[in-house]
Amino acid sequence: MQSVDSTNNYARQLIHAGMAQTGMTIFTHEQIAGKGQRGKVWASQKDVNIALSIVITPNPLKVTQQFQLSACVAVALHHFFVKHAGDDSKIKWPNDLYWQDRKAGGILIESIVGSGGNWDWAICGIGININQTSFSTDLPNPVSLKQITGKDFKVVSLAKELCSCLDEKFQELINSGFEPIYNQYLNQLYKLNDKVRLKKDSRVFEAIIKSVSLEGKLVVQHAIEEEFNFGEVEWVI
């Protein structure tokens, strides 16, 4: 597509219209109102970045296993990015793509649950900074593939390569179960065993990142070992 408000919104419209199929990918050259986590806006310039959504029927996963899909997408995104940006690429909990201490991409997965509680559809939205070199000062730590490598890239070709990585990891999840994906996620976890600053409500504290649980909770060690669900704590950059 040339332009759309949000690829996730467009995917949702296709689902509600009965026009969606699993594996369908919506790619746009310009995303006017891209969405990030917690209702934040994902800002992206025209023609220079990857902005796409993939529609999936998550069967046999249950809605309580959403982290398995989230981790699978994050691992695929990392697998794609590390080939171009090198080993400084990491997965930042819960589902951001980082290079060193800077954000190169993000994932937003939205679920559509049926009346019987079945996980009918998942919309996997992905944004990656590719050729953009100037960013809003509102963004604390962005980086693009061009800034990392000094090279220009063909965005559509990279989007196709990313889709191949996603398909490969989806098949691995279905055929081999979650354990291989989970181990890959942990192996590439940003700041693993490092001390970081986190914020819960109005309290900022230091803690060591120890792991992520099978359910997707961040496991940290400070005075005690503690687990946090997504949304309970924020990183302090």
User: Cis link prior to 140 (omega < 30° from 0)?
Assistant: no
Burial class (CB in 10 A: 0-12, 13-18, 19+), 177: exposed
Per-domain residue ranges for the chain? 7-187, 195-235
pLDDT along the chain (237 residues), means of 10: 90 96 94 61 78 95 95 98 98 96 96 91 97 89 97 98 98 97 99 97 96 98 95 92
Structure tokens at 75: 């691992």
Instruction: Supply angle C-alpha 226, 102, 211, rounded to 5.
Output: 25
Report the distance separating Cα 141 and Cα 122, nearest Å: 29
Residue closest to 143 by CA, chosen among 156, 132, 159, 153: 132
- pLDDT score, position 75: 99
Structure tokens at 117: 């509680």
Please tell me the CATH code under which domain 7-187 is placed: 3.30.930.10
Instruction: Supply angle C-alpha 137, 199, 184, rounded to 5.
Output: 85
Structure tokens at 64: 């309580």
- pLDDT score, position 117: 87
- pLDDT score, position 147: 98
For residues 227 and 213, the answer to whether their CB atoms sit within 8 Å is yes
Phi/psi for 179 (5° steps) reads: -55, -50
Residue closest to 96 by CA, chosen among 167, 171, 189: 189
- pLDDT score, position 226: 96
- pLDDT score, position 36: 54
Give pTM, 2 decimals.
0.93
Residue closest to 122 by CA, chosen among 177, 174, 54: 54
- pLDDT score, position 28: 93
Strand partners, 110: 123
Structure tokens at 226: 């503690």
How far lies 172's CA from each of 88, 108, 166, 177, 215, in Å?
A: 24, 21, 10, 7, 19
Report the distance separating Cα 56 and Cα 176, nearest Å: 18
Report the distance separating Cα 149 and Cα 147, nearest Å: 6
- pLDDT score, position 37: 55
- pLDDT score, position 116: 84
